[in-house]
Amino acid sequence: MKSASLIFVALLAAVGLVSSQDKAELATVPTTARILGTIPDGTPPATEAPKPEYKVAPTDILQTTTQREGGRNITIQRIKPIALPPPPQAADTAAAPSPEFLQRLTEFRDAHPRSAIFNLGATIYQSKGQPTRTLLQLWPEGGGQPIKVWSSADFTLIAGGIRSFIDTEGNTRHLMVMPSRIDIDRMTNLFASKGKTYTAPQIPVFPEGKATFQIIGDSPSPSDLTALQSLHDLYNQHHAELLAAYQGREQASLQREAELKANPPQPKDITLRYWHTERPATKGGDQ
C-alpha cells in the first residue's frame, strides 16, 4: 500500500498538475477567457515574519576566526557536532500499480486538464503620434519554428500584468513573454547621426477599436490560436486595469530606485558555522 501511494504521488507530479487555486477555478469549464490570480500593480508583498535566529551556546563554539572583506566582518566558527535526523529510506517502487489505480489516474487526468506554457516573444514598436504595435513570435508547445503575428495590443501591459489565464476552451495557460521595446523615432535619429538609414518594419494597418492580430506566414495550431485569441480578449476586457497596473509598477520601480539612491544598502556582517563528524560520512549517509 505504501508503494502504491508513492507511485501515485510520482505519477501525479509527472502529468503536470495545476495548482490548488487553478483546480478550483477549473471545476466549471468557462465560456469566456479569464485571468488567473491578480494583476501585479507594484504593491509590495506582505512582509514576512522574521525567521527565528539560530543560536549556538558559547560552550559549543570550539574555534572562531574573523576577517574583514567587502566592508563587512566574516566570522567562521567551528562548533560541536549537531545531531541530524536520519536520512530518508529509499522508497520501494518495485510493485506495479493495479488496474484499479490506473483507472483512477485516467479519470483524474480527464477531470484535471494539464496546464501548458504559452511562450511568446514580443517586440513592441512605439512612435510619437502613432499607436503602439507588437510583433509576436509564438513558439509552439510541441516545438518547431516560431509563428509571426502582428498585434495591435500593447504587450508592455500584458508582459507584466498577466501571468496565467484560462482560454475559451477551459485550458490553463501559464504566460511567458519575452518583451523588448523599439522606439522608431529614436532609432531613426540614432541611425541618422551615423549617416545611416533605419528601416522600420512594415506594420499592417489595424482597424480602430479593440485590439486584434494578423498572422504572418504559417498559421498556429488550433490550440495556440485559441490561446492567442483568448489573450487578446482579456486585453480588451481588462485594458483599463492592465494600464493602471502597469503605471503602478512603473511608479513603484521609480520609488525603489530613489530609495536605493538615498539609502544604499550597507554590507552586513555574516557568521558561518561548521563542524566535523567523528568519521567521514559514507555513501547513503551512514556514519
| pLDDT, tens digit (0-9, with 9 covering 90-100), for 240-261 | 999 999 999 999 999 999 999 9
Could you give the CA distance from residue 246 to residue 103 in angstroms, rounded to a whole number? 46
pLDDT at 52 over 80: yes
Beta bridge partners of 73: 68
4 CB neighbour count, 10 Å cutoff: 15
pLDDT(179) > 90: yes
pTM score? 0.68
Quote the strand ranges of the chain, DSSP E: 34-36, 61-69, 72-79, 116-127, 130-139, 147-151, 164-166, 172-183, 213-216, 270-274
Tell me how far the alpha carbon of residue 226 is from its chain's centroid. 22
Phi first, then psi: what are they for 157, rounded to 5°?
Answer: -75, -35
Contact 164, 174 (CB under 8 A): yes
Q: Are strands 72-79 and 270-274 parallel, antiparallel or unpaired?
A: parallel
Looking at this protein, which amino acid is placed at residue 36? L
For the CA atoms of 58, 63, 69, 70, what is the dihedral angle to 10 degrees? -40
The confidence band for 16, taking pLDDT boundaries of 50, 70 and 90, is: very low
For residue 35, the one-letter residue type is I
The predicted model gives 143-152 an average pLDDT of 91
Measure CA 135 to chain center.
22
Query: What pLDDT is stored for residue 228 in this prediction?
Result: 95
End-to-end CA distance of the chain: 31
Computed on alpha carbons and rounded to an integer, the radius of gyration of the chain in Å comes to 27
Cell output for 90: 529509499
pLDDT confidence of residue 19 = 43
- Distance between CA atoms of residues 72 and 64, nearest Å: 16
Yes or no: say if 62 and 78 are a contact pair by the CB < 8 Å rule. yes
What pLDDT score was predicted for residue 111? 64
Determine the Cα–Cα distance for residues 98 and 14; give it in Å rounded to an integer.
18
Separation in Å, CA 222 to CA 140, 168, 265? 11, 12, 51
Query: What pLDDT is recorded for position 114?
Result: 66
Q: Which of 98-112, 140-154, 232-246 has the highest mean pLDDT?
A: 232-246
Q: For residue 18, name the pLDDT band (cuts at 50, 70, 90).
A: very low
pLDDT at 94: 64
User: What b/e readout covers 20-47, taking b as 16+ CB neighbours within 10 angstroms?
Assistant: eebeebbeeeeeebbbbeebbbbeeeee
pLDDT greater at residue 54 or residue 173: 173
Determine the pLDDT at residue 25. Answer: 44
Question: Whole-number mean pLDDT of the chain?
Answer: 83
Give me the helices (H) in 194-238, please: 222-237
